[in-house]
Homo-oligomer: A and B are copies of this chain.
Amino acid sequence: MPYDFPAALASAATDTEAALDHLLTTGALQGPGDPPERLVAAMRHGSLNGGKRLRPLLLRQAAEVFGVPPARTVQAGLAVEMIHCYSLVHDDLPAMDNDDLRRGQPTVHRAYDDATAILAGDTLLTHAFGVLANDSLDADPAVRLRLVAELVAGAGAGGMAGGQMRDIEGETGFLTERAIAQMQAMKTGALIRASVRMGAILGGATDEELAGLTHYAEAAGRAFQLADDILDVVASPEVMGKATGKDAGAGKQTIVARIGLEAAQRQLGEMIHDALSALLPFGERAEGLRATAKFFAERQS
């Protein structure tokens, strides 16, 4: 039976959203006081908004390589998704990318205000680590701590947030193709890398297996970003649910802007090939990760 990618994606999204919904019901968030309703509503607005949940899917698929059942990956996937959502809420702020729409809906600071959006991002970020610390995630505390360390590395100054800083800095200067690739490897790649590695850690991967899956994740993450930049040029705003052609308009430095559409599409194909090659040692157990890499190459939105 061939791998049913749409079903796997839908299942990861359903599970992640159910877990998000549960966590963001006032009372489930840890703390000595009651979370303010407005804050929780803004956290919900910024996270329960129809995202594809690709990172929880990747985490689940990496864990599947080691036979971990999907249900045991939901909490770790939730933590990664909360980090992703916090980053979107903060990146959309007027002080950053100044976006009014996200997936066809008002961004958090538009639906509420800037202060609430800052705090909603801060608390999505904070409670992501609360999810990882919870003993319902995995019985072994050492495993949960490794997940914390991976998520910090993926999200922090040497990962996603550092990449956003480099992206902002790049707006005032010229970045070489190589510098753009390095920036994107941090801004988008680091959290994708963390997702795959966290799944592998849940599965008890050896160092060698972890290195192989990390190679996959880095290539797949680069492919994901390339596809995103290509879509910004070729897709319509209706399909994307947000403004397109915006990168060029904002003088945003992308690989597409640097080397052109055709060369970028060729590079995307090479990255997918690279990602798939890294999966060879894992055989059929990696069919999920393989399907996601192909999805990155072919996605239309």
Contact = CB atoms under 8 A, between A and B. Distances in A.
Interface of A: 29-36, 38-40, 43, 86, 90, 93, 95-96, 113-116, 118-119, 121-123, 125-127, 129-130, 132-135, 141-142, 144-146, 148-149, 151-159, 161-166, 168-169, 182, 185-186, 189-190, 193, 218
What's the dominant secondary structure at chain A's contact region?
helix
A118 B114 CA distance: 11
A127 B119 CA distance: 18
B39 A123 contact: no
- Copies of this chain, count: 2
Given A35-B157, A127-B156, A186-B33, A165 B93 contact: no
Contacts of A135: 145
A30 B158 contact: yes
Given A130-B152, A133-B145, A149-B130, A158 B31 contact: yes
A114 B95 CA distance: 6
A32 B123 CA distance: 24
Given A29-B158, A30-B153, A33-B190, A125 B122 contact: yes
11 contacts: A29-B158, A32-B159, A33-B158, A33-B159, A36-B166, A96-B115, A122-B125, A123-B161, A126-B161, A132-B148, A133-B148
Contacts of A153: 30-32, 130
A148 B121 CA distance: 18
Nearest to A171: B115
Given A126-B125, A133-B148, A156 B38 contact: no
Given A115-B95, A130-B152, A130-B156, A185 B33 contact: yes
A192 B76 CA distance: 29
A31 B186 contact: yes
Contacts of A126: 125, 152, 155-157, 161
Contacts of A90: 118-119, 122
A178 B148 CA distance: 37
